[in-house]
């Protein structure tokens, strides 16, 4: 059964196939919608892009989406994640998409026999975000080998940084990091931390991160203005980037903090392209999850 808990679940061939399926889905309409299949989106953390693009992908695939709202569900009466998912499975749901604040939440779902698609697990992983980021980079450069990717900002608390660093290294890119020392994490950076000047002047891809205050244990000393001046992608820094270099951000972004307002939609920015790619990637993942299940029954 196809599962997408982390991208480590995929072989290199499967990863390649998903990116290629997503590319095709960007240009062609589906000939065979996955009718009669149903899916539920369980979001235990706020989301705009991931939730909406899964919903759009599900709609475009002709799937039936079971409405599920954590705030109005029996989660409020103490029902566990396992029991919630087991219940949806018993009702006849064919797959579940889950975002949850607990890193590795899916380990508690080992007894579930429908596909679990991870839409983000705390500071753990964000596999579909990484897939759409990889697709965006592939569209731009065609290859990953020797590309200089610099991830800037609150690396320690970022599931996007964690998944992307691992996958990009696997695919042959050089991954470096810049940002406040207290938000660097050796497990992710492997000690590869560079200055903002070096980041801006050497990167082929700059990947910015939001300050993830919701995962901070203590309030830090950074003001928005200080952070922007020290680690933000200002217009002056953007002007020093290499010719052909691009800017990415998983979003939501905070204008005037990690990125200057005019840089959000500048010529180098691929931020909204990433969001568009998200729908195709999620369609490819859902098709894979639901079609494979069909073959096993």
| Residues at the site binding ligand CP, with contacts judged by CB under 6 A | 47-50, 120, 129, 250-252
Tokens of 101: 């604040």
Greatest Cα-to-Cα distance within the chain, rounded to the nearest angstrom? 58
State how far the Cα of 271 lies from the Cα of 235, in Å rounded to an integer. 16
- Provide the minimum distance between the beta carbon of 160 and ligand CP in the complex, in angstroms, as a whole number: 7
Minimum separation from the CB atom of position 125 to ligand CP (A): 12
* CB 154, min distance to ligand CP, A: 14
Three-state SS at 84: helix
CB of 275 to ligand CP, least distance (A): 8
Tell the smallest beta-carbon distance from residue 118 to ligand CP (Å): 12
Task: Decide whether 120 or 179 has the Cβ nearer to ligand CP.
Answer: 120
Residues 6+ away with beta carbon under 8 Å from 52: none
- Residue with Cβ nearer ligand CP (129 or 136): 129
CA 88 from chain centre, in angstroms, equals 25
Tell me whether residue 93 or residue 160 sits nearer to ligand CP (CB atom).
160
Q: Which is nearer to ligand CP, 50 or 269 (CB)?
A: 50
- Judge contact between 117 and 4, C-beta under 8 A: yes
Per-residue DSSP letter, 259: B
The nearest distance, CB 46 to ligand CP, in angstroms, is 7
User: Cα angle at 224 between 242 and 125, to 5 degrees?
Assistant: 70
Count of residues for the chain?
297
**How many beta carbons lie within 10 A of that of residue 26, not counting itself?**
16
Dihedral pair phi/psi, residue 9, rounded to 5°: -70, -20
Residues whose CB falls within 8 Å of the CB of residue 131, separated by 6 or more in sequence, listed in order: 7, 15, 18, 19, 22, 281, 284, 285
Which of 188, 194 has the CB closer to ligand CP?
Answer: 188
Nearer to ligand CP, 50 or 138 (CB): 50
d(CA 40, CA 276): 22
What's the closest the beta carbon of residue 93 comes to ligand CP, in angstroms? Answer: 21
Smallest gap from Cβ 55 to ligand CP, in A, equals: 11
Nearer to ligand CP, 120 or 124 (CB): 120
Nearer to ligand CP, 228 or 282 (CB): 282
* Main-chain phi, psi angles of 70, to 5 degrees: -50, -45
Q: What are phi and psi for residue 207, nearest 5 degrees?
A: -115, 115
In angstroms, rounded to a whole number, what is the distance separating the alpha carbons of residues 42 and 218? 29
């Amino acid at each position: 059964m196809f599962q997408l808990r982390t991208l480590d679940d995929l072989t290199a061939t499967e990863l390649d196939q998903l990116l290629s399926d997503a590319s095709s889905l960007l240009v062609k309409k589906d000939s065979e919608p996955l009718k009669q299949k149903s899916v539920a989106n369980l979001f235990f953390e706020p989301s705009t892009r991931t939730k909406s693009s899964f919903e759009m992908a599900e709609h475009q695939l002709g799937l039936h989406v079971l409405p599920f709202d954590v705030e109005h569900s029996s989660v409020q009466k103490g029902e566990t994640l396992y029991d919630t998912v087991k219940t949806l499975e018993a009702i006849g749901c064919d797959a579940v998409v889950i975002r949850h604040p607990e890193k590795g939440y899916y380990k508690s779902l080992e007894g579930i026999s429908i596909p679990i698609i991870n839409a983000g697990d705390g500071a753990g992983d964000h596999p579909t975000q990484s897939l759409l980021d990889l697709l965006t980079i592939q569209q731009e450069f065609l290859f990953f080998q020797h590309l200089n990717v610099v991830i800037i900002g609150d690396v320690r608390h970022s599931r996007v940084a964690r998944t992307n660093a691992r996958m990009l290294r696997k695919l042959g890119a050089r991954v470096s990091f810049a940002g406040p020392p207290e938000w660097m994490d050796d497990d992710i950076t492997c000690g590869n931390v560079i200055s903002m000047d070096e980041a801006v002047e050497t990167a082929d891809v700059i990947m910015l991160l939001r300050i993830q205050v919701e995962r901070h244990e203590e309030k830090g000393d950074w003001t928005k203005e200080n952070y922007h001046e020290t680690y933000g992608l200002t217009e002056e820094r953007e002007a020093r980037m290499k010719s052909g270099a691009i800017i990415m951000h998983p979003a939501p972004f905070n204008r005037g903090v990690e990125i200057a307002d005019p840089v959000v939609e500048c010529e180098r920015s691929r931020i909204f392209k990433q969001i568009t790619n998200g729908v195709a990637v999620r369609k490819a993942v859902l098709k894979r999850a639901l079609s494979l299940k069909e073959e096993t029954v």
